[in-house]
Amino acid sequence: MGPVSAPGSRQRVPGQARKYALVVDDDDASLRTFERLLSKHPVELLLAKTPSEALGLVSMLDPTPQPIVGFLDVLIPGMDGPRFVHALRTMPAFGGAPIVLVSALSGTALDAKALEWGASGIIQKARGLIHVDQEFTGWLERIG
């Protein structure tokens, strides 16, 4: 069992709407890095190592639309990218929310595939942590 965080596990500012960031990565080092980068933002982190853990966490959220963004590793065991994105899209919390794929792979073919699958965009790990951090910040700003 990997690091899974339940909704509401982080403190938030009273009176401020909850915003969530779902991070799914089977690599412990990547998950810790993403947690460190995102922890400086006013969001509640939902961390999972598998698609099934992630879907379980999302199912615990209030079913009304939430300010949420998902960051998903492309190459994750248990469910391929298209099925995982589709499964999230069918959940009320993620109907129109941004789903961003994160990958060590690169190339325009992967970018096109991500959009075809229903993802909102892709972040390439190979561009470095500063770029990944800037991308995270940009996507978090889009959800308010």
- Cross-strand bridge partners of residue 68: 20
pLDDT tens for each residue of the chain, 144 residues long: 444 555 444 444 444 557 889 999 999 998 999 899 889 888 899 999 999 999 999 988 876 666 788 888 888 888 877 888 889 988 888 878 888 888 877 677 777 888 888 888 888 877 777 888 888 888 888 887
Per-residue pLDDT, 1 = 41
In angstroms, rounded to a whole number, what is the distance separating the alpha carbons of residues 115 and 23?
A: 19
Closest by alpha carbon to 137, among 3, 38, 33, 6? Answer: 38
Per-residue pLDDT, 9 = 46
In angstroms, rounded to a whole number, what is the distance separating the alpha carbons of residues 118 and 64?
A: 20
Per-residue pLDDT, 17 = 57
Closest by alpha carbon to 74, among 108, 46, 51? Answer: 51
Per-residue pLDDT, 4 = 52
- Edge-to-edge strand list for the sheet holding 68-73: 44-48, 20-24, 68-73, 99-103, 121-124
Burial class of 90 by CB neighbour count within 10 A (0 to 12, 13 to 18, 19+): exposed
Q: Domains along the chain?
A: 20-142 (3.40.50.2300)
Residue 78 tokens, joined: 């248990």
Give the DSSP H/E element, type plus range, for residue 71. Answer: strand 68-73
